[in-house]
């Protein structure tokens, strides 16, 4: 960590792994290279948000690369990234997006960083299919919501002093969380207004919440946080409910006070229909009632249970957004945080594709929209082709893949029309 103090804007960040504490440095980096991690690790996810090239899971980056060395990091040559010795010349291709044909399938964006929202809004798009709160919470807020709710009872020490410093203009400490979260989500919603912006409610895991200021006071220690106290299960649990209500206040502020009614909400990791009903009840109590002022509430479709009980989930939610990362993890029985089994993680596995095709058909038969906001269509053109043939309503992409994937989808749809008429 001491070396981070010497890091300069434009340097290449080479490390074993990253975590939320590294994010200020990651924003300065020209590229990121790690020893460990897979396509869904912290470094990979954050680098996509901030538009920085990133290579993960090299196993030997910190041994091979050294301080002061000139290198070129390339992520533009297929599925495997490459680090070249020296500074290479780059070529640039210019595309006139004003005349780019639009496909039938809606092309939406995955957005997490408010700072990038207005830039990304100029890409050809139909809105935001996944606006993540996690980046705002870890970067702009940095404080565990319950540490603000219970600020007066926190033990004296450096953590409490830091929280006091960050919230010095907030006599009512919880309002700091509400205002900062509303500002971040509002910036994303304003950038794309009046297009739909689907905001996923918080999906930090307990180990990630622990990393926030004051988090150690309120979080359990879990052996596998990926399968533990996350998503919907936190919202109604008395151990976290007060924190979730701050989140609800922020979303109500965005829709009611800012007038950004293009914001729709999405519930992640909802294990059962009964759990979904509990979350909807809390949202309604907080003034976010499904159907009022056009509010739509979606469910992340990322557990096999969501697909097995498609029709029941369709009764209480307005649509499904397929999260291919977690769906792959739970279908194949993989811990996607484990580098040991990372080579088995593949959203293109036939079992995963069969589930996606199944839920698309059944949900649409119930009159519900189906989109996908996972990583797969951004990474694999053939997966985008599969989704189009399934007939999904929308595909949400990382901004850096929008143009090439849109072109590919237009071609796929044209081929499908020709095959029907021939």
Catalytic residues: 42, 373
CA distance 175 to 49: 26
418 φ/ψ angles, rounded to the nearest 5 degrees: -65, -40
* HSE toward the beta carbon, residue 413, CA cutoff 13 A: 17
CA distance 20 to 29: 15
Using CA atoms, how far residue 194 sits from 198, 236, 251, 255, 341, in Å, is 12, 31, 16, 12, 42
Closest CA to 107 of 94, 125, 121, 87: 125
Please, which residues bridge with residue 319 across strands? 298, 369
Retrieve residue 204's tokens.
């930090």
CA 207 to chain centre: 17
Retrieve residue 48's tokens.
């996509």
Per the CB < 8 A criterion, the answer to whether 73 and 30 are in contact is yes
Could you write out the DSSP letters of every residue in 334-387?
Answer: --TT-STTGGG--TT-HHHHHHHHHHHHHHHHTT-EEEE-SSHHHH-HHHHHHH
3-state secondary structure at position 413: helix
- Residues of 245-276 as b/e, b for ≥16 C-beta within 10 angstroms? bbbbbbbbbbbeebebebbbbbbbbbebbebb
For tokens 């519930």, name the residue.
267
């Amino acid at each position: 960590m001491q070396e981070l103090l010497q890091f300069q804007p434009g340097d290449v960040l080479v490390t074993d792994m990253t975590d939320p504490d590294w994010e200020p440095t990651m924003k300065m980096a020209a590229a990121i290279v790690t020893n460990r991690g897979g396509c869904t690790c912290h470094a990979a996810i954050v680098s996509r948000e901030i538009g920085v090239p990133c290579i993960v899971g090299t196993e030997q980056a910190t041994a091979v690369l050294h301080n002061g060395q000139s290198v070129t990091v390339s992520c533009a040559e297929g599925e495997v990234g490459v680090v070249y010795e020296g500074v290479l010349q780059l070529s640039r291709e210019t595309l006139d997006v004003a005349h780019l044909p639009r496909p039938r399938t809606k092309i939406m964006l995955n957005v997490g960083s408010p700072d990038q929202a207005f830039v990304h809004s100029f890409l050809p798009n139909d809105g935001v299919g996944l606006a993540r709160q996690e980046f705002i919470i870890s970067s702009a807020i940095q404080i565990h919501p319950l540490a603000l709710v219970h600020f007066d009872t926190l033990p004296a020490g450096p953590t409490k002093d830091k929280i006091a410093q960050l919230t010095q203009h907030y006599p009512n400490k919880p309002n700091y969380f509400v205002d900062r979260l509303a500002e971040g989500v509002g910036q994303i919603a304003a950038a794309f207004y009046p297009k739909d912006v689907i905001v996923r409610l918080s999906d930090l895991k307990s180990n990630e919440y622990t990393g926030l200021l004051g988090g150690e006071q309120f979080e359990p220690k879990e052996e596998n946080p990926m399968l533990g106290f996350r998503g919907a299960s936190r919202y109604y649990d008395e151990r976290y409910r007060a924190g979730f209500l701050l989140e609800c206040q922020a979303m109500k502020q965005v829709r009611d006070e800012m007038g950004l009614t293009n914001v729709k909400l999405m519930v992640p990791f909802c294990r059962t229909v009964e759990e979904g009903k509990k979350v909807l009840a809390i949202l309604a109590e907080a003034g976010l009632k499904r159907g009022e002022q056009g509010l739509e509430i979606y469910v992340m479709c990322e557990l096999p249970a969501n697909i097995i009980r498609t029709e029941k989930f369709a009764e209480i939610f307005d649509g499904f957004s397929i999260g291919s990362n977690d769906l792959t993890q739970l279908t194949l029985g993989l811990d996607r945080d484990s580098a040991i089994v990372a080579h088995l993680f593949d959203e293109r596995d036939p079992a995963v594709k069969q589930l996606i095709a199944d839920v698309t058909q059944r949900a649409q038969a119930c009159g519900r929209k189906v989109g996908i906001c996972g990583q797969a269509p951004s990474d694999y053109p053939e997966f985008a082709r599969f989704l189009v043939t399934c007939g999904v309503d929308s595909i949400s992409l990382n901004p850096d893949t929008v143009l090439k994937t849109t072109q590919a989808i237009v071609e796929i749809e044209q081929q499908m029309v020709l095959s029907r008429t021939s």
